[in-house]
Structure 1
Amino acid sequence: MKFLFLIIFIVIMSKPFVLFDFTKESNIQNWSVVNDGVMGGLSKGNFSVNDKGDGFFTGHVSLENNGGFSSVRYNFESKSVSNYKKITLRLKGDGKQYQIRVKTRISDYYSYIAYIKTNGEWQTLEILFSNMIPSFRGNILDLPNYPGEYMEQFAILIGNKKNEDFKLYLDKIELE
């Protein structure tokens, strides 16, 4: 009997947690775009749900006025993530590099980051928590990597140090 409970416990605990699953009916009010305009830049980003039900992050990164980034952020109530080890993303990019960012607490001044490279096709990408490094304004901090205990924010940022248009479609974000 104890063995049966152990198996049930393992199955329940190994089930992915869906952080966000985009559909045509998705409520994206907790998603917000933050561009370099907060520092005087001129980049523009937009986030919406398209007619196919995908999250759609699009815009233009401008280096004018010391700019250079656009991001979309999802804030949510604190989630214990200690039973998970990675973020799994299903997305379609434009062949560009993006930064995946998480925060333990929204009030933290730094984020834990990892880079992904899109290929123009639908892809499923995995990012281990242990590979996410602490960063603030593009500088790596002398702190441990993401401990994977709590999460209150998930974000995607584009900032490749060049003027460029971008398009990124999101289908699902899970923790495994």
Structure 2
Amino acid sequence: MNTPTDTLFDFNKNSDLSLWNIVDDRVMGGISQSFFKITDEGHGKFYGYVTTERNGGFSSVDYDFETVKVSPTSKIKIKLKGDGKTFQFRVKAFAYDRHNYIKEFDTTGEWQTVEIELSEMEPSWRGNTLKIANFNKDQMTRITVLIANGKKQNFELLIDSIEIVKS
């Protein structure tokens, strides 16, 4: 039995990254810097340097898209290769929401498939967990990959595809 999936983004050499946007701690005076590009092999590459200097400490890349229908029992499936660091995956249900729903994931240095249940994603705003329910919406409008491990470090994350697994 195949589980239905919707592809949010499938990276290849011709991928259009115009709806992907870098947001670093520079928006609040920090000096971290990250980049997002397509590799020669056709993967999305999120990489850079994070530092806590000048009250900074994060780098992220956002992907805004037309509203996608989901259910709280859906999962996000990401094929990726990280550098052994911990990243956060974030979801925004509505464009006007100030908060995100977040879940951390560890990378192994090898290609792996990370599955994140939407219902396990906790509400957060500016690094603080909010006292509202975990993700329980029927739509998404943005996803974000973020790194903020509280120390100076280079990072690199290759992404092959991001899908929604419907249940």
1:80 matches 2:79: no
User: Deviation of residue 84 (structure 1)?
Assistant: 5.7
Query: Structure 2: how far apart are the matches of 1:93 and 1:139?
Result: 25
Match of 1:69 in 2: 58
What is the alpha-carbon distance in structure 2 between the residues aligned to residue 83 and residue 97 of structure 1? Answer: 24
Does 2:149 align with 1:160?
Answer: yes
Instruction: Give the Å deviation of 1:148.
Output: 3.9
Q: TM-score, normalised by structure 2?
A: 0.96
CA distance in 2, matches of 1:38, 1:155: 16
Residue identity opposite 1:30 in structure 2: L
Q: Give the alignment of 1:1-176 within 5 angstroms.
A: 14-82=3-71, 85-176=74-165
SS in 2 for 1:116: strand
Measure, in 1, the Cα distance between the counterparts of 2:45 and 2:122: 26
Q: Over the residues paired in the alignment, what is the CA RMSD in angstroms?
A: 1.3
Give the Å deviation of 1:106. Answer: 2.0
Give the 4+ runs in structure 1 shifted more than 3 A.
none
Structure 2: segments with no counterpart, 5+ residues: none
Query: Are the aligned partners of 2:72 and 2:118 in contact in 1 as well (CA < 8 Å)?
Result: no
Take 1:130 and 1:89, find their aligned partners in 2: how far apart are those partners? 16
How far did 1:81 drift?
Answer: 1.0
The number of residue pairs the alignment matches comes to 165
| Kept after mapping to 2: 8 A contact 1:30/1:76 | yes
Secondary structure at the counterpart of residue 37 of structure 1: helix
Displacement of 1:82 after TM fit?
2.5
**TM-score, structure 1 length as denominator?**
0.91
SS at match of 1:17: strand
| 1:80 CA displacement | 1.1
Larger Rg: 1
Could you tell me whether the CA contact under 8 Å between 1:79 and 1:150 is conserved in 2?
yes
